[in-house]
């Protein structure tokens, strides 16, 4: 068939960003062209998120807006496609294809059929028993790239819709992960972030997550290796021990705590207590003294009292998080928590979110200020423009943002800097001599 111009947009998490990349490369392999605006596109693909109601409302708004492009075949994929299925044809009448989370390989033929014959198609089957062999994403495309290592989640946290939409955990083979990492590194990437809902659950025969990370470091030329996300119940000293000995394995962990009260953690089915969580942080810092920890927190889970919310604030004061993503609880149909009464009022949730954000920012400022004057190696990943002033931006291994004056440096360079000032949680650095 004639090559089509395809435009893709991604909502939600890093996993979706990666999947969108994979979809683009599947279509490019079939000879189609990826375009950067929807204006002249023959096909528009929106990859969606269902984790909170707000995410779905935004995606639906955007789909209604994109419905203006009457000549394009409109495709919805990702979590909201999986959750709403063919009901999406009624919600957004211009939608022609609904493709669930396990059906991206079917997209080229479905798009061709929709262009040729018209009609509507929905693909929602999940292949939970199947192997997970992601077709590799494009080799070229920036200094920092994602590589997916697992698909799905079986933790069934009581508030979370993900296990219902992404299915059981499937691990990709270590060989295929190493091939993709080598290929993106050959294409110019310096940093790779290994992705999964809970990467610590990775298993390929006898290779576990640390075994995989060790093989990637030994067998590829990647300059920096990161990972997202880890479940606090599953992380153990092995990850931190590898970080302590492998300079290229970045000293940062995203470890969602979700709440600070044991009763709420149990109701969330998280599988750990406040004390075991804090114990893991102590262990992490004993093994990797400078490690940065970031987290996710939900406020207003059903029946959460003021006192229990106060325990979340106390935990944030104690945990020394570099950053926290904070959310108001949003009931998701079909989850265990959706059977409980959503009894924390909207006003109260908002109030708690604001109070939480204040403490998060205070703590964040305190942690970052303590770094002033220290040295760090930053990986440059682009330019930043502020009025007249142009600078280069980079990240430390701890994932902290640093701006440096423009110089004869390039994206992808790793350079030593001294952290001089802190402006809105971003450091301004000066280039330092190499040690």
> Which residues form the interface with ligand 5AD (CB under 6 A)?
51-52, 159-160, 256, 258, 296, 298, 327, 329-330, 332
Residues 6+ apart with CB under 8 A from 306: none
Residues 6+ apart with CB under 8 A from 407: 392, 431
Q: Which stretch binds ligand SF4 (CB under 6 A): 96-104, 149-157, 365-373, 378-386?
A: 149-157
Q: Which stretch binds ligand SF4 (CB under 6 A): 32-40, 126-134, 151-159, 302-310?
A: 151-159
Return the number of the residue (51 or 147) whose C-beta is nearest ligand SF4.
51
Contact yes or no for 43/73 (Cβ under 8 A): yes
Q: Quick one: which of 137, 155, 328, 391 contacts ligand SF4 (CB under 6 A)?
A: 155
Q: Is residue 368 a contact point for ligand SF4 (CB under 6 A)? A: no
Residue 298 binds which one of ligand SF4, ligand 5AD, none, with CB within 5 to 8 A depending on kind? ligand 5AD
Q: Quick one: which of 8, 76, 153, 213 contacts ligand SF4 (CB under 6 A)?
A: 153
Q: Is residue 323 a contact point for ligand SF4 (CB under 6 A)? A: no
Query: How many residues belong to the chain?
Result: 435
d(CA 63, CA 41): 15
Return the number of the residue (296 or 381) whose C-beta is nearest ligand SF4.
296
Least Å from the CB of residue 157 to ligand SF4: 3
Residue 329 binds which one of ligand SF4, ligand 5AD, none, with CB within 5 to 8 A depending on kind? ligand 5AD
How many CA within 13 A on the CB side of residue 93?
Answer: 2
Q: Which stretch binds ligand SF4 (CB under 6 A): 14-22, 150-158, 374-382, 384-392?
A: 150-158
Which residue of the chain is nearest ligand 5AD when measured via CB?
Answer: 296
Least Å from the CB of residue 151 to ligand 5AD: 16
**Residues numbered 214-253 forming contacts with ligand SF4, rule: CB under 6 A:** 231
Least Å from the CB of residue 161 to ligand 5AD: 7
Query: Site map for ligand SF4, 172-211, x if CB under 6 A?
Result: -------------------------xx-------------
Return the number of the residue (234 or 381) whose C-beta is nearest ligand 5AD.
234
Q: Is residue 163 a contact point for ligand SF4 (CB under 6 A)? A: yes
Least Å from the CB of residue 420 to ligand SF4: 38
Q: Is residue 157 a contact point for ligand SF4 (CB under 6 A)? A: yes
Q: Is residue 79 a contact point for ligand SF4 (CB under 6 A)? A: no
Residue with the two structure tokens 């394009």: 72
d(CA 353, CA 52): 15
Least Å from the CB of residue 156 to ligand SF4: 6
**Residues numbered 336-355 forming contacts with ligand SF4, rule: CB under 6 A:** none
Least Å from the CB of residue 160 to ligand SF4: 3
Residue 52 binds which one of ligand SF4, ligand 5AD, none, with CB within 5 to 8 A depending on kind? ligand 5AD
Q: Which residues bind ligand SF4 (CB under 6 A)?
A: 153, 155-157, 160, 162-163, 197-198, 231
């Amino acid at each position: 068939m004639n090559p089509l111009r395809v435009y893709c947009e991604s909502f939600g998490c890093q996993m979706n960003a990666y999947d969108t990349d994979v979809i683009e490369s599947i279509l490019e392999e079939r000879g189609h062209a990826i375009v950067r605006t929807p204006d002249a596109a023959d096909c528009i693909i929106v990859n969606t998120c269902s984790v909170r109601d707000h995410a779905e409302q935004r995606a639906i708004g955007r789909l209604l807006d994109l419905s203006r492009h009457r000549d394009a075949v409109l495709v919805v994929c990702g979590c909201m496609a999986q959750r709403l299925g063919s009901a999406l044809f009624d919600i957004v009448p211009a939608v022609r294809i609904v493709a669930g989370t396990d059906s991206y390989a079917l997209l080229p033929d479905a798009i061709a059929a929709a262009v040729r014959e018209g009609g509507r198609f929905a693909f929602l089957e999940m292949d939970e028993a199947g192997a997970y062999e992601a077709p590799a994403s494009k080799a070229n495309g920036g200094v920092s790239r994602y590589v997916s290592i697992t698909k799905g989640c079986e933790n069934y946290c009581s508030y979370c819709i993900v296990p219902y939409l992404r299915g059981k955990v499937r691990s990709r083979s270590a060989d295929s992960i190493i091939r993709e990492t080598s290929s993106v590194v050959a294409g110019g990437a310096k940093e790779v972030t290994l992705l999964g809902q809970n990467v610590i659950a990775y298993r390929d025969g006898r290779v576990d997550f640390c075994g995989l990370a060790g093989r990637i470091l030994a067998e590829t030329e990647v300059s920096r290796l990161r990972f997202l996300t880890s479940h606090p119940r599953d992380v153990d000293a092995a990850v931190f021990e590898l970080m302590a000995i492998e300079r290229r394995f970045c000293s940062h962990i995203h470890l969602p705590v979700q709440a600070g009260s044991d009763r709420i953690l149990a109701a969330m089915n998280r599988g750990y207590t406040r004390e075991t969580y804090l114990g893991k942080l102590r262990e992490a810092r004993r093994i990797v003294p400078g490690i940065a920890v970031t987290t996710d927190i939900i406020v207003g889970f059903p029946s959460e009292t003021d006192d229990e919310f106060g325990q979340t604030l106390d935990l944030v004061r104690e945990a020394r998080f570099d950053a926290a993503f904070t959310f108001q609880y949003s009931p998701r149909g079909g989850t265990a928590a959706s059977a409980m009464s959503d009894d924390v009022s909207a006003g109260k949730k908002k109030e708690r979110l604001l109070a939480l954000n204040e403490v998060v920012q205070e703590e964040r400022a305190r942690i970052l200020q303590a770094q002033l004057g220290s040295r760090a190696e930053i990986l440059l990943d682009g330019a930043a423009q502020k009025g007249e002033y142009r600078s280069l931006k980079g990240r430390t291994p701890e994932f902290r943002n640093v701006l440096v004056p423009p110089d004869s440096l390039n994206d992808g360079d790793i350079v030593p800097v001294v952290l001089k000032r802190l402006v809105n949680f971003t450091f301004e650095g000066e280039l330092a001599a190499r040690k």
